[in-house]
Amino acid sequence: MKRIGVLTSGGDAPGMNAAIRAVVRKGIFHNLEVFGIYQGYTGLINGHIEKLELGSVGDIVHRGGTILRSARCPEFKTPEGQQKGVEQLRKHGIDGLVVIGGDGSYRGAKALTELGFPCIGVPGTIDNDIPGTEFTIGFDTALNTVIDAIDKIRDTASSHERTFIIEVMGRDAGDLALWAGLAGGAETIVIPEEPFNMDEIIERLKNGQKRDKKHSIIVVAEGVMSGTEFAKLIQKECDIEVRVSVLGHIQRGGSPTATDRVLASRLGARAVELLIEGKGGRAVGIEKNQLVDYDIIEALGRKHQLDLNMYKLSKELSI
Ligand code: F6P
């Protein structure tokens, strides 16, 4: 292994820059040449590839977004696109690739692995939905962004005695909504992993009103339905004043938390070690604060498990 590449793909996540920095510096520390591939798989297909030096990743550990930029690339889902990608890697003399991203990015890495090119997946997504790791890079920062928003919304909700529905990202996973709802003291959390019962939600709102609680926060994961749709369902059942806040892409931005920076540094560096050890086709993760790695092809067949005990707890705490 003499030359390695690194790319970020799919939805960006705070901490991706810290992961790029770790890949570049760890690679150079081990006398490798490291190449940055810009705009994810799109840049790979188009050969937008440049050598990165120690200084290329200076002053980025604290920045959100990704200096390599990111893209969603439908062409890379085709065998022709994947073949073009492998040709570009070979043309640049790159022997191994680190892919930082979510499940779509992992599918690209899986395809390259199946074509015989050594790839390592590093989980970078605010959704926390990658199997084989308890946490993904960006989740902690996004969680803190959502909590900050909930705290602010709570102020105005209590002043106006309103019920707020806060729509949170996460694609098909409820992690962000569940963690933010629990940390933000939401009365109700609606996630795709568990069916919701509207009668029970209304009952909880009414019980709150009976004990003179005039405002409430309902966190709805986007994977269930939009906040607006959920508001309509509630208003069909009871006559309360409701407002909807869709947090949107602010959840993807901002300076990464210390937790995300450390996680990104550890995972990025481990990915390089695996390539040096000649172990392609793996994904790295964190379990019980220990670094782990596992077969990327097998991992994509598994499903990420949300901690349902936390969901149960959130219900117990919001009686
Ligand atoms: O995967 C990250 C994510 O932010 C999801 O939470 C969300 O569903 C999606 O990406 C939004 O994608 P886009 O930025 O392409 O609209």
- Which of 12, 127, 246 should be mutated for ligand 1, with most atoms under 8 A from CB? 127
pLDDT at 214: 81
Judgement on whether residues 239 and 171 belong to the same structural domain of the protein: yes
Clarify whether residues 147 and 187 are in a common domain. yes
pLDDT score recorded for residue 29: 98
At 144, which CATH number?
3.40.50.460
Single residue among 233, 252, 271 that ends a domain in this structure = 252
Question: Does residue 305 belong to any structural domain of this protein?
Answer: no
The pLDDT value recorded for residue 239 is: 85
Is 175 found in the same domain as 193? yes
Is pTM beyond 0.75? Reply is yes
Residues contributing to the annotated binding site: 11, 21-25, 72-73, 102-105, 125-127, 154, 162, 169-171, 185-187, 211, 213-215, 222, 243, 249-252
Same domain, residue pair 126 and 172: no
- Which residue has its alpha carbon closest to ligand 1 atom 2? 11
Does residue 306 form part of some domain?
Answer: no
Compute the distance between CA of residue 79 and CA of residue 239 in angstroms, rounded to an integer: 54
Give the number of domains in the chain: 2
The answer to the question of residue 192 being in a domain is: yes
* pLDDT of the residue at 109: 97
Low-confidence ranges of the chain (pLDDT < 50): none
Q: 133 and 144, same structural domain?
A: no
Q: Is residue 312 part of a domain?
A: no
Q: What is the reported pLDDT for 179?
A: 98
Asked whether residue 83 falls in the same domain as residue 212, the answer is: no
Alpha-carbon span 297 to 114, nearest angstrom: 9
Whole-number pLDDT of residue 117: 97
Q: Are residues 205 and 94 in the same domain?
A: no
Claim to verify: residue 129 and residue 147 sit in the same structural domain: no
Task: Return the ligand 1 atom nearest residue 252 CA.
Answer: 4
Q: Which residues are catalytic?
A: 127
**Residue 313 within a domain:** no
SS (H, E, C) the chain: CCEEEEEECCCCCCCHHHHHHHHHHHHHHCCCEEEEECCHHHHHHHCCEEEECHHHHCCCCCCCCCCCCCCCCHHHHCHHHHHHHHHHHHHCCCCEEEEEECHHHHHHHHHHHHCCCCEEEEEECCCCCCCCCCCCECHHHHHHHHHHHHHHHHHHHHHHCCEEEEEECCCCCCHHHHHHHHHCCCCEEECCCCCCCHHHHHHHHHHHHHCCCCCEEEEEECCCCCHHHHHHHHHHHCCCCEEEEECHHHHHCCCCCHHHHHHHHHHHHHHHHHHHCCCCCEEEEEECCEEEEEEHHHHHCCCCCCCHHHHHHHHHHCC
pLDDT in tens, 145-193: 999 999 999 999 999 999 999 999 999 999 999 999 999 999 999 999 9
Domain that holds residue 13: 3-138+256-300
* Same domain flag for 116 and 156: no
Domain shared by 133 and 8, yes or no: yes
Specify the ligand 1 atom closest to the Cα of 170: 6
Check residue 61 and give its pLDDT. Answer: 98
**CATH code (residue 265):** 3.40.50.450
Residue 317 lies in a domain: no
What integer pLDDT is reported at residue 38 of this predicted model? 98
CA of residue 41 to ligand 1 center, whole Å: 17
Distance in angstroms (rounded) separating the CA atoms of residues 194 and 213:
26
Would you say residue 309 lies in a domain? no
Pairing relationship of beta strands 49-52 and 33-37 according to DSSP bridges: antiparallel
- Whether 267 and 231 map to the same domain: the answer is no
- Judgement on whether residues 106 and 132 belong to the same structural domain of the protein: yes
In a domain, residue 307? The reply is no
